Amino acid sequence: MDFSTTVSRRRLLQAAGVTAVCSTTPTIGATESGRFTARHAKPTQTLAPGEHVLADNNGRRSILYVPPSYSASTPAPFFLMLHGASGNGDRTLTQERAAAEEHGVILLCASSRSGTWDAIRGDFAHDFDMLNGLLQQSFDRCAIDPTKLAVGGFSDGASYGISLGLINGDFFTHVIAHSPGFIIANNWHGKPKVFVSHGKQDEVLPFDRCGAVINARLQKEGYNPRFDVFDGGHTASPELRSAALAWLQD
């Protein structure tokens, strides 16, 4: 299971509602911190269903997975799924493949450079720039439905993904966050739909200080998220993963 073993002081502050604003200068390829420049368009290549490795950083692979139902003539839903601490793209694909195949969703399962994502402990930097490039590669290779364009993840990946989804909410239409800890920045754009799940017995990123606080903040800001609360710990079950991708299809 991917999970963080400790909750840093910064996380606790953010989980308690103190949302950090990235003070870094804009990263390469961005007009402001955390803003993607990649955009979907008519693909210039054609990919067959299956796994396609877009990057390999010493075995930490970033994989574009095209489900068996995909046809280049029919734009498909797309989900950039980000792993938790200690995870990687291969593990994410193993966990998410069944739901993607069930619902016909193209997956981009990226790997961070190290154990977790850059802005979890600092600023949007090398991982963010990598994701910007991976997104553009994906859009150049697959027909994407622009009305079903999701970003999210699990644990640290959920914190990173929900942050990117809100910062780029005029681009992403949906955000999926399984057991998130906090939201990184305040420079939100647009109004994407948001799905949050969290276990009431989560001992890694506690429900009362994390999921419940995030849901309340989103409600206050007018996002009206779907909030799936379950009896359990720090996990995203196959059923929850399937429910989230079914929600993406609505």
Split at pLDDT 50, 70, 90, the class of 12 is: very low
Residue 108 scores a pLDDT above 50:
yes
Residue 204 has pLDDT above 50, yes or no: yes
Of 133, 126, 124, nearest to 112 by C-alpha is 126
- In whole angstroms, give the CA distance from residue 102 to residue 100: 5
pLDDT over threshold 80, residue 213 = yes
Q: Which pLDDT score is estimated for 250?
A: 85
Strand spans (E) along 59-130 = 60-66, 76-82, 106-110
CB 88 within 8 A of CB 111: yes
Pairing of strands 226-230, 174-178: unpaired
> pLDDT tens for residues 117-165?
999 999 999 999 999 999 999 999 999 999 999 999 999 999 999 999 9
Torsions phi, psi for 239 (to 5 deg):
-65, -40
For the chain, the structural domain boundaries read 9-18+47-249
For 224, residues 6+ apart whose C-beta sits below 8 A from its C-beta are 218
Give me the percent of the chain exceeding a pLDDT of 90: 84
Q: Which CATH number fits domain 9-18+47-249: 3.40.50.280, 1.10.3720.10, 3.40.50.1820, 3.40.1710.10?
A: 3.40.50.1820
